[in-house]
Homo-oligomer: A and B are copies of this chain.
Amino acid sequence: MSGQHFNLLKTSGTARAGELNTPHGKVLTPVFMPVGSQATVKTLTPEDVKGLGFNMLLCNTYHLYLRPGVDIIKKLGGLHRFMSWDGAILTDSGGYQVFSLSPLCKITDEGVKFRSHIDGSEHFLTPELAIKYQEALGADVIMVLDECSAYGDGKEKIKKAMDRTHRWAERCLKAHKTKNQALYAIVQGGMFPDLRKESAQYLSALDLPGYAVGGLSVGEPKDITLPIIEQTTALLPPDKPRYLMGVGAPEDLVAGVARGIDMFDCALPTRVARNGALFTRQGRVNIRRAVYAKVDKSIDPTCDCYTCRTFSAAYLSHLFRAEELLALRLATIHNLRFINNLMKDIREAILDGSFDRFAKKFLSEYKTTDEQTRVAQKGKWLKGRAES
């Protein structure tokens, strides 16, 4: 990689504004990456995604490995060309989906044996193969293979997974040949501060271009997650980007940035959109509620998205009730634009040193109800993120 992968430009308390330099352009941080599991952000064209203000997204190696296959994408010129996306892409290692989607999942030091959730065929993933596949796909940022723990696992089990994650990180680093892909490590250690510290220090010593905080958003209460994030980022090198995987609820983005996170991805904004849950600065609204059937204004008159500029809540509500496919796209557009606007506001607040005030105001206005929290959190551990 020519030049610095990440520049830290400004801090406001623990919150950071910076920029990622990738072969597919500059990405301003903090950044939220929409999820395009199967080489498409569900319902949207690449032009739609760009038009919403995003220039980096995440694709899932597991999904693409199984279908259409890494070799096919490589022969067709790589993932960017395949999906006609000229912005930056981050691919994960495939490990997370193996642990969450495969009906079989047998882990040894060598790697992980799993079955396709599509046709039941058996596969074997190793750190070296995870790198090979991601190099073939050609993403701008790639991830090490890690062993994911579940919330509730005992400390011994979590330490064992963490140690294996460290060994796998070293094997990934050794296997990694391409110069223009930034390889990130993943800090594990569950909810145990001493393990998190050990993991952060171990991986920091490898001097990789970026670090993810893994093993969160797996069913644990938020009051446990946030201190762990805060503690972990404090131990990571300040000149490297920190990526919180699988987090994307508006309140969690603000809370994550407040704790030193630079990058996020999550299927939540697009998934809840397809269920009719739309973000506003006051919290989520459910467009399926009867009250919207006659509302002549847009869902959020302050929103600048195509959906809100063009259609009434009554029309959107009609599309959802009539089960029209356009509903899913219009709601996706709204939620992603909301997230992009939020990240822009967050960054501006950091740059002018007022992030703390911004975060307090946002979090006091943005209501999460029990129902919203239930939808936001994952029903079962790891199930939520895998389905985009």
A66 to B309, CA, bound (A): 27
A205 at the interface (CB under 8 A from B): no
Residue of B nearest to A307 (CB): B45
Interface string of A198-238 (1 = CB under 8 A from B): 00000000000000000000000000000000000000000
Give the chain B neighbours of A325 by CB distance below 8 A. 42-43, 325, 328-329
Give the chain B neighbours of A89 by CB distance below 8 A. none
Query: In the complex, how many angstroms separate the beta carbon of A16 from the nearest chain B beta carbon?
Result: 34
Residue of B nearest to A42 (CB): B325
**Would B38 and A315 count as touching, CB distance under 8 A?**
no
Q: How many copies does the complex hold?
A: 2
Give chain A interface residues in 316-371, CB to chain B under 8 Å. Answer: 317-319, 321-322, 324-326, 328-330
**Would A315 and B39 count as touching, CB distance under 8 A?**
yes
Give the chain B neighbours of A46 by CB distance below 8 A. 310
A123 at the interface (CB under 8 A from B): no
**Would A67 and B294 count as touching, CB distance under 8 A?**
no
Query: In the complex, how many angstroms separate the beta carbon of A233 from the nearest chain B beta carbon?
Result: 35
Q: Which of A68-76, A161-169, A246-254, A257-265 contacts B (4 or more CB under 8 A)?
A: A68-76
**Would B45 and A314 count as touching, CB distance under 8 A?**
no
A82 at the interface (CB under 8 A from B): yes
Interface string of A48-89 (1 = CB under 8 A from B): 000000000000000100011000100111000011100000
Give the chain B neighbours of A314 by CB distance below 8 A. 68, 72, 76, 82
**Would A72 and B329 count as touching, CB distance under 8 A?**
no
**Would B43 and A315 count as touching, CB distance under 8 A?**
no
* Residue of A67, A294, A312, A326 with highest tally of chain B CB at under 10 A: A326
**Would A326 and B76 count as touching, CB distance under 8 A?**
no
**Would A324 and B294 count as touching, CB distance under 8 A?**
no
**Would B312 and A76 count as touching, CB distance under 8 A?**
yes
Q: How large is the interface on A (under 10, 10 to 19, 20 to 34, 35 or more residues)?
A: 35 or more
**Would B42 and A83 count as touching, CB distance under 8 A?**
no
Residue of B nearest to A295 (CB): B76
A294 touching B72 in the complex, CB below 8 Å, given contacts A43-B329, A67-B321: yes
Contact of A84 among B315, B321, B324 (CB under 8 A): B315
A324 touching B38 in the complex, CB below 8 Å, given contacts A67-B318, A76-B312: yes
**Would B76 and A324 count as touching, CB distance under 8 A?**
no
A44 at the interface (CB under 8 A from B): yes
* Residue of A38, A322, A328 with highest tally of chain B CB at under 10 A: A322
Give the chain B neighbours of A97 by CB distance below 8 A. none
A91 to B388, CA, bound (A): 38
A296 at the interface (CB under 8 A from B): yes
A75 to B294, CA, bound (A): 9
Give the chain B neighbours of A328 by CB distance below 8 A. 325
Give the interface of A toward B (CB within 8 A): 38-40, 42-46, 63, 67-68, 72, 75-77, 82-84, 293-294, 296, 306, 310-312, 314-315, 317-319, 321-322, 324-326, 328-330
28 contacts between A and B (CB under 8 A): A38-B318, A39-B315, A39-B318, A40-B326, A42-B325, A43-B325, A43-B326, A45-B306, A45-B310, A45-B326, A45-B329, A63-B322, A67-B318, A67-B322, A68-B314, A68-B321, A72-B294, A72-B314, A76-B296, A76-B314, A77-B296, A82-B312, A82-B315, A84-B311, A84-B315, A325-B325, A325-B329, A329-B329
